[in-house]
């Protein structure tokens, strides 16, 4: 986590094994620190930062100093950490550079991996293996196939970090007049599939929210429901309302991208690149 605090960074989250009953749907991406059950209460999530800050380990010494009562800072300022470097296996990077004639950027490699992990065909084919150990990532021999997957992966990363251009045109709106409070009980948080509405109280709701978006899960969490359920009996601020609209938009776009991934992914395994 210190590498996330040291400066600009992004990280892949994925479990080593899954106890959750149901399909494998556990990878996620973040640009902040996370706890080990960020994606599911029944799994331990591993956090893989894309960049490493060489001097970040000095924080441990500062922490010991604080415990000892010397009064030093718990965290150093970001400027103290030096130049970052990517956290990728050099052998993989070199193999891709030779195969494609140019070295992919660390972001492109992360985007490609993220695209593979969100491909329904991949999840279904390797379901048993994914439940038992870390994901294994296949790489294509063709540069064009890698590029198509990485491009779709970049869109997913931007959506899941809630920084995508698509948020300028949200997929849903907030309707009704009231106090913006997420009520409890039967007249509180509920979903109406007939009208595609997510009610937070009798008078206010988000719509349209398709059933497949409302039911979409990341890890062990039903995203649209959990986000609001965690705010029961709270009054939503304008920023929180906008954030929920981004969540709905992100999931809507994610479903469309996953359909595209299923059309591209077969070309990945049609001619695999050997990475030793």
Decide if pLDDT at 24 tops 90: no
What distance in Å separates the CA atoms of residue 198 and residue 190, rounded to the nearest whole number?
A: 6
Is 245 among the domain residues?
A: yes
Decide if pLDDT at 21 tops 50: yes
Mean pLDDT for the chain overall: 89
Is 228 among the domain residues?
A: yes
φ/ψ of residue 248, rounded to 5: -60, -45
Is 154 among the domain residues?
A: no
Q: What is the pLDDT of residues 212-261, one digit of tens each?
A: 999 999 988 899 999 999 999 999 999 999 999 999 999 999 999 999 99
Structure-model confidence comparison of residues 89 and 166, the more confident one: 89
| Cβ burial, residue 136 (10 Å; 0-12/13-18/19+) | exposed
**Residue 93: its pLDDT value, please?**
95
Is 57 among the domain residues?
A: no
Decide if pLDDT at 207 tops 90: yes
Q: Which two tokens stand for residue 125?
A: 């084919």
What distance in Å separates the CA atoms of residue 139 and residue 67, rounded to the nearest whole number?
A: 47
Decide if pLDDT at 69 tops 90: no
Report the share of the chain in percent with pLDDT over 90. 71
**Residue 67: its pLDDT value, please?**
43
**Residue 60: its pLDDT value, please?**
45
Is 236 among the domain residues?
A: yes
Decide if pLDDT at 65 tops 60: no
Full residue range of the structural domain in which residue 202 is found: 167-256
Is 25 among the domain residues?
A: no
Decide if pLDDT at 75 tops 90: no
**Residue 15: its pLDDT value, please?**
85
Is 265 among the domain residues?
A: no
DSSP states along the chain? -HHHHSSS--EEEEESS---SSS----EEESS---TTSS-TTSPEEEEESEE-TTTTHHHHHHHHHHTT----SS--GGGG---EE-S-HHHHHHHHHHHSSPPPHHHHHHHHHHHHT-HHHHHHTHHHHHHSPPP---BS-HHHHHHHHHHHHHHHHHHTT--GGGGS-S-EEE--S--B---STTSSEEETTTTEEESSSS-EEE---HHHHT-EETTEEHHHHHHHTTTT-BPPHHHHHHHHHHHHHHHHHHHHHHHHHHHHHHHHHSBPP--
**Residue 181: its pLDDT value, please?**
97
Q: Find the range with the poorest average confidence among 5-9, 55-59, 80-84, 114-118.
A: 55-59
For the entire predicted model, the pTM comes to: 0.88
Is 205 among the domain residues?
A: yes
Structure-model confidence comparison of residues 128 and 176, the more confident one: 176
Domain count within the chain: 1
């Amino acid at each position: 986590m210190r590498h996330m605090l040291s400066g600009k960074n992004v990280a892949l989250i994925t479990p080593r094994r899954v106890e959750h009953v149901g399909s494998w749907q556990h990878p996620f991406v973040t640009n902040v620190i996370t706890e080990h059950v960020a994606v599911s209460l029944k799994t331990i999530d591993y956090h893989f930062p894309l960049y490493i800050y060489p001097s970040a380990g000095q924080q441990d010494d500062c922490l010991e100093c604080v415990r000892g009562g010397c009064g030093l800072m718990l965290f150093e300022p970001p400027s103290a950490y030096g130049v970052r470097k990517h956290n990728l296996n050099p052998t993989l990077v070199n193999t891709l550079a030779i195969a494609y004639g140019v070295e992919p950027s660390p972001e492109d490699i992360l985007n490609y991996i993220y695209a593979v992990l969100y491909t329904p065909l991949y999840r279904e084919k390797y379901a048993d293996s994914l439940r038992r150990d870390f994901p294994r990532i296949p790489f294509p021999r063709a540069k064009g196939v890698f590029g198509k997957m990485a491009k779709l992966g970049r869109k997913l990363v931007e959506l899941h970090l809630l920084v995508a251009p698509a948020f300028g045109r949200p997929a849903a709106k907030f309707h009704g007049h009231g106090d913006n409070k997420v009520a409890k009980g039967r007249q509180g948080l509920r979903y109406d599939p007939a009208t595609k509405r997510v009610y937070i109280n009798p008078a206010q709701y988000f719509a349209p929210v398709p059933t497949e978006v409302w039911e979409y899960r990341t890890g062990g969490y039903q995203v649209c429901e959990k986000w609001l359920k965690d705010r029961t009996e709270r009054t939503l601020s304008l920023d929180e309302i906008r954030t929920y609209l981004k969540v709905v938009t992100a999931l809507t776009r994610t479903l469309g991208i996953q359909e595209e991934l299923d059309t591209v992914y077969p070309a990945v395994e049609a001619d695999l690149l050997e990475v030793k």
